[in-house]
Structure 1
C-alpha cells in the first residue's frame, strides 16, 4: 500500500503523521514478535522495534517544540499493517511473516524518503529523518534477506 506520509504541506502535519506512522510500525512489530518462532529473529525484530521507539521519542520532542499534540496511538492503517502479518502467519512460516513485514517497511522507507525531500521539513527534524530513513532501509534489507527461507 502506498503512503502519503512525508508529503504534508506543513511541519505540524508532517510531525503528526510521522508519529502516527511510528505507532503503526510499533504495533506491526509487536504482532511480528508474537508470531515468529525463531528466537534469533524475535531478538532482531525487537531491536528494530526499539529503533521505532527512538524515532517516536524524537518525534514527540519535535511535536512539543512545534505545539503539536502528539497522537497516542496509530490510525486505521494499523489494522492493515498488523493484518498482513497475521494473515501471513496463518498461511506460512517465519519467512512469510518477514515478507509481509517487509511490505510494511516499504511504506516507512517511502515515508521517510518523502519527508527528507519535503520543503515543510523543519531544519531541526532533518537529522532525525535521515536516521529514521537509514534505519528503515536497514530493517527492510534484513527482512528481505531473511524471508527467503526459514
Structure 2
C-alpha cells in the first residue's frame, strides 16, 4: 500500500506520522510473534519490534522538543497491518513473513520519502537515516527467510 508519509505540509507532521507508522509496525510484530511457529523467527521478529519501539521513543523526543505532543498509541491503520498478519497466518510462517514484508515495504517507503524533504531538522537527520537502515535490514532479513522457507 503506497504511503503518503513524507509529503505532509510540515516536517513535524511527517515525524508524527512516522511515529504512528512505527506504532502500527510494532503492533504487527507483536501479532506475528504470537502466531509464528518457528521460535528462531519469533526471536528475530521480537528484535525488530524492539527497533520500532526505539524509533517511537526517539522520534517522540524530537516532537516534544518542538513543543508538540507525539502520538501515544497506534491508530486505525494498525488494524490493516495486524490484519495482514492474521490473514497470512492461514499460510503459516511463510504467510506471516509475507505480511511482515508488506508492512516493512511501507515503512521503508515512508522513511525514504521523509528523507527527501527539504525541511528536515539537522538533529533529526541522523535518526531518520538510522531508522531507514533498520527498516532496510528488517526487510532484507525477511526476504532472506522467505527464500529459505
- TM-score norm. by structure 2 comes to 0.96
Matched residue, 2:104:
105
SS at structure 2 position matched to 1:47: helix
- What count of residue pairs does the alignment treat as equivalent? 149
In the alignment, does 2:123 pair up with 1:121? no
Question: Counterpart of 1:75?
Answer: 75
Q: Which stretches of structure 1, 4 residues or more, deviate above 3 A after TM superposition?
A: none
1:87 pairs with 2:87: yes
Q: Which residue of 1 aligns with 2:25?
A: 25
CA distance in 1, matches of 2:67, 2:11: 11
In structure 2, distance between residues paired with 1:25 and 1:68: 22
2:15 matched to which residue of 1? 15
Deviations 1:34-61 (A, max 9, x none): 1101110011000111111111110111
- Structure 2 unaligned residues grouped into runs of 5+: none
* Pairwise CA RMSD: 1.0
Aligned partners of 1:40, 1:144: CA distance in 2, in Å? 15
Deviations 1:10-69 (A, max 9, x none): 122111111101110110110110110111001100011111111111011101111121
1:135 paired residue number: 134
My pick for the range that moved more, 34-43 or 70-79, is 70-79
